[in-house]
Amino acid sequence: KGTGAVIDYPSGAGVGVLSGYTPLADCAMVQRLRAAHAIVFGTTNVPEFAASVNTANPASGQTRNPYDHALSPGGSSGGAGSAVAMNLCPIAVTEDTGGSTRVPALFNGLFGFDPCRNHYPNG
C-alpha cells in the first residue's frame, strides 16, 4: 500500500506534493517481511492520505476495478485489492482503518484479513 515506506519505491501516500518521495528505509512491517524472505513487488495506489473509500488521487489518478472499469475498487487499499485481483501479486499488506482492507477486498472479489490489534508493528 502506498502509505508504507518501502525503500526504492515511491511512497507519497497519494499526495501530489509527495509523489516523488522515495523513503530511505523500509517501515517496520516491510522489514519483517524481508527478514522472512518475502519478495516485495512495490507499493500500490491510495487516495490522498488514505482518506477515502474511492482510490483516486491527483498524483496517480483513479485506480480501476479490474472486473469493470466503471466501478470503484474501493478504498483506501483499492490499489492493493486491484493488484491482487489481477494476479500482479499473491498478497498485499494493507491497514484496515475504517474498512480500508475489507472494502477493497469485497469490491474485488477477495478475502481481506484484519488481525487483532498489536499483532504486527504499526508504522
Angle at CA of residue 100, ends 106 and 28, nearest 5°: 125
Q: Residue 123: its pLDDT value, please?
A: 56
43, 9 Cβ separation under 8 angstroms = yes
Highest mean pLDDT pick, 17-26, 98-107, 109-118: 98-107
Q: Give residue 116's pLDDT.
A: 76
**Residues 6+ away with beta carbon under 8 Å from 5:** 11, 23, 25, 26, 27, 30
Residue 96: the pLDDT is 86
- pLDDT at 66 (0 to 100): 97
Sorted by where each begins, the domain ranges of the chain are 16-107
Mean local confidence (pLDDT), 23-44: 94
Alpha-carbon separation of residue 112 from 16, 25, 35, 90 (angstroms): 28, 27, 23, 13
The three cell numbers of residue 68 are 469493470
Q: What is the pLDDT of residues 55-107, one digit of tens each?
A: 999 888 999 999 999 999 999 999 999 999 999 999 999 988 889 999 999 99
